[in-house]
């Protein structure tokens, strides 16, 4: 992974806080697995959508634009997010 370890730690802490608050009993994961989220009919890659939605929901947009996008692109960020976010299996 190309992301700096301190940046990965920060992203993980923030996403873990969101998951702790909103993913009790895997509720959030189940919503994405069943397609129960806004504009799901237009989503081609649910795992990617879930990861970036979590990043946005964790309030990391400014951090990403100020720090991550200086040396990473979406694919690099997605690789890092996949190590943090729960796996979505569409049913």
Residue 90 has pLDDT above 90, yes or no: no
Per-residue b/e over 72-90, b at no fewer than 16 CB within 10 Å? beeeebbebbeebbbebee
- Map tokens 């802490």 to a residue: 13
Give the confidence band of 91 by pLDDT, cuts at 50, 70, 90.
confident
Q: What is the pTM of this model?
A: 0.93
Alpha-carbon distances of 35 from 22, 71, 89, rounded to whole Å: 17, 33, 11
Cβ-based neighbours of 55, under 8 Å, separated by 6 or more:
11, 15, 61, 64, 77, 81
CA-based angle 54:57:60, to the nearest 5?
90
Please give the mean pLDDT across all residues of the chain. 96
């Amino acid at each position: 992974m190309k992301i700096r370890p301190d940046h990965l730690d920060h992203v993980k802490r923030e996403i873990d806080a969101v998951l702790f608050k909103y993913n009790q009993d895997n509720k959030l994961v189940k919503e994405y697995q069943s397609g129960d989220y806004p504009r799901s009919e237009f989503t081609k890659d649910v795992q990617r959508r879930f990861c970036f939605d979590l990043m946005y929901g964790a309030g990391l947009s400014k951090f990403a634009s100020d720090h991550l996008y200086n040396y990473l692109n979406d694919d690099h960020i997605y690789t890092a997010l996949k190590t943090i976010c729960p796996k979505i299996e569409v049913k």
